[in-house]
Structure 1
Amino acid sequence: MGLKLMYITNNPQVAVIAQKYGVDRVWVDLETLGKEERQGHIDSVKSHHSIEDIEKIVPFLNKSEMLVRVNPLNAGSEKEINAVIAAGADLIMLPMWKSVEDVQKFLDIVNKRCKTVLLLETKEAVECLDAVLALGGIDEIHIGLNDLHLSYKLDFMFELLANGTVESICKRISKSQIPYGFGGIARLGCGELPAEKIIQEHYRLGSTRAILSRSFCNAQQYSTIEEIDDVFAQNMKMLRDYEMQLDKQSQEDFERNRQSVVKIVRRITEMKAGAK
C-alpha cells in the first residue's frame, strides 16, 4: 500500500528534496505552547517554525502537501488557524486536545477550508475518542506516541505498541473509516526498536501514515544540500523497497513480528527501569 510519509522542516531546499524522493507531506511545526514543559526531559524534536516558513515553502510544492501543526487550543487559535490557512496549508493538525468540545471548536474554526488532522496524544483523548469520531468532519487521525506515553506515565513510547494500546485505538478509528497513523520511523536498521519492526506493525494495524523521525535524515548534521539529497535518496529507496516486501507477508508473519516487538520492548523497559 505504501505509507503516506511526513517530514518536519522549515527549509525550502530540504522540502524540495523530501518531495523529490516521495515524501507525501512537508510539515511545518508551529506548536510551542506547553511543549517544553511536557517534553523538556526527553530527546524529542522541538521546532521553532513560523507562518512565514509556510509561505516560503508552499510555492515549491507541486506533489507534496503542506501539513501544519498549530498550537493546542487557546485564546489565539482562531487568529493562528486563519493565518495558517491564508499561508497555504493543505492540512492543519491539532495537538493536545482532551475533549469533544476541543475538537468541535477546532472543526468550527477551520470550517472545511482545508483538511483536518487530530493528533491523539492524551489519555483524555483516548477516553472520549468514540464521541469525537461521531462528530464527523475529521479527515485524519495521528496517534502521537511521545506525549501519549507521557500521559500514561510510561518510560518508553513504544510500550503503547507492545501493550495493545495502539492496536485498541486503531481498531476504534478503523470502524469510522478515517485514515490513521502513529508515531515515527527511523531509517532502516536504526532505532531502539528497529524501524523494520515498527513498519510491519503499521501494516498489521492498517496504519497508512507515518512521520519520518529525525534519525531518518537529520538535516542539521550535514553541511551541504548535496549530502542531504544523498541521504534522502538512499533512505527512501530502502524504505520503499522494504514496503514492497511486506506486500507478500502473511498474517502469521505479522503476528510473529508483533511477538518480537513485545519481547524487545519488554527488554528495553526493564533496562530503563534498572537504570533509574
Structure 2
Amino acid sequence: MSIRLLYITKDPRIALIAEAAGVDWIFVDLEYRGKNLRQIGRNTVISAHTIEDVEGIRQVLKRSRLLVRVNPLGEWSEGEVDSAIAAGADAVMLPFFKTKEEVCRFVGLVGGRVEAWLLLETVDAVRDVDKILEAPGVDYVHVGLNDLHIERKTRFMFEFLVDGSMDALAREIQATGVAFGIGGMARIGELIPPAEHILAEHYRLGSVGVILARSFCSPPISDQNAEFAGHFADGVRAIRAMESWLADQDAAFFEFNRLQVQREVRTVLDSLSESP
C-alpha cells in the first residue's frame, strides 16, 4: 500500500514542487465560513484561498490531482461546487457536516462529475457514520482530528487516535467499503508522537490518506527554490521508505507501535498539565 499524500497550497510554484516530490493531491482550501469562531484562540490557519487559486493550480499540474474544499453546506453550496468543478477540481470536499441529509445533498450537487469527498470532523458525524455512509456516491472520507479535538474538548488532537475512538470509527468506515484517511503528519523523525509512529498507525487502521502538515516543509519558499524543493523531496522520500519498511512488519509490531503512541500521547498530556 502507498498512502495518498495531500498538501495544502494556493501557490502554483509550491504545487509544482510538491508534485515533483510525489504528492498525490494538491489541496486548495476555500472554506472560511464559521472557522474563525470554531478555532478562535488556536494555532490554526484560515487559508483564504480563492477560486482563482484553483484555476492557477489547475493550469500547472500534470500528474497530481486537485482537491478543493468548499464551505459547510448552505444556500451558497451549489454555486461553490459548480465553480470548483468548472475551475478544474478532480474532487470536491464537504467539511463540518453532521447528518446523512447534508451528505446526500452534497453528493447530489457534485452529481458524479468529480469525486465527492467528506471531511468527517464533528461528533455527530462520528456517531452516525454508518447511516451517513449509506448515502451513495461518497468516494473518500478524511477524518479531521483538529476540529474533533476542539468539539470533544480534549487537550491534544491525537487523543482521538489512542482512546479507542479511531479504532471504532475505522471499523465502521471499513464496513461500508469507503476509503478513508486520517488527519495530518509531520516529517519522519519529528514531533511527539514521531511521524513514523503515526504512519504506522495509518497502516494498522487501514487509512489510505494523510495531509502533510505545515511543519512538513517549514522553511519558506524563497529565491532558493532548489533548496526548498530538495527539502520537500527528502521528506516525501523518507515517508515512502518508511512505508516500504512497514509493509514487511507483522501484527505484533503494529500492536507494539500502538502502545508506544499511547505512551507518547500521555507524555504530551503530562507536559500540558505541567504548563503554567
Please tell me the TM-score bracket, short chain as reference. over 0.9
Q: Distance in 2 between matches of 1:184 and 1:115?
A: 21
- 2:25 matched to which residue of 1? 25
Equivalences for residues 8-19 of structure 1 within 5 A: 8-19=8-19
Residue type of the alignment partner of 1:196: E
**1:237, distance to aligned residue in structure 2 (A):** 1.2
User: What are the Cα deviations for residues 221-261 of structure 1, in whole angstroms up to 9, with x where unaligned?
Assistant: 65532222111121111111111111111110000000011
Q: Would you say how many aligned residue pairs link Structure 1 and Structure 2?
A: 276
Contact 1:5–1:25 (Cα < 8 Å) also in 2: yes
Equivalences for residues 44-83 of structure 1 within 5 A: 44-83=44-83
Contact 1:4–1:23 (Cα < 8 Å) also in 2: yes
- 2:206 matched to which residue of 1? 206
Compared CA separation, residues 219 and 177, structure 1 to 2 (3 A): farther
Contact 1:14–1:225 (Cα < 8 Å) also in 2: no
Structure 1 unmatched ranges of 5 or more:
none
TM-score (norm 2): 0.97
Residue type of the alignment partner of 1:235: G
Structure 2 unmatched ranges of 5 or more:
none
- 2:179 matched to which residue of 1? 179
- 2:183 alignment partner, SS class: strand
TM-score (norm 1): 0.97
Q: Distance in 2 between matches of 1:219 and 1:23?
A: 18
Percent of aligned positions with the same letter in both sequences?
43
RMSD: 1.3
Equivalences for residues 158-173 of structure 1 within 5 A: 158-173=158-173
Equivalences for residues 35-184 of structure 1 within 5 A: 35-184=35-184
Is it true that 1:273 corresponds to 2:266 in the alignment? no
- 1:264 matched to which residue of 2? 264
Contact 1:45–1:214 (Cα < 8 Å) also in 2: no
- 2:217 alignment partner, SS class: coil
- 1:225 matched to which residue of 2? 225
Residue type of the alignment partner of 2:113: R
User: What are the Cα deviations for residues 53-112 of structure 1, in whole angstroms up to 9, with x where unaligned?
Assistant: 111111221211000111111221111111001000000110000111111111111111
- 1:28 alignment partner, SS class: strand
Residue type of the alignment partner of 2:66: M
- 2:48 alignment partner, SS class: coil
**1:271, distance to aligned residue in structure 2 (A):** 2.1
Q: Tell me whether 171-180 or 32-41 shows the greater mean CA deviation.
A: 32-41
Residue type of the alignment partner of 1:90: D
Q: Distance in 2 between matches of 1:271 and 1:235?
A: 28
Q: Distance in 2 between matches of 1:221 and 1:66?
A: 21
User: What are the Cα deviations for residues 164-189 of structure 1, in whole angstroms up to 9, with x where unaligned?
Assistant: 11111111011111110101010011
User: What are the Cα deviations for residues 191-250 of structure 1, in whole angstroms up to 9, with x where unaligned?
Assistant: 231101100000000101000001111363655322221111211111111111111111
Contact 1:55–1:87 (Cα < 8 Å) also in 2: yes
Q: Distance in 1 between matches of 2:221 and 2:36?
A: 22
- 2:62 alignment partner, SS class: coil
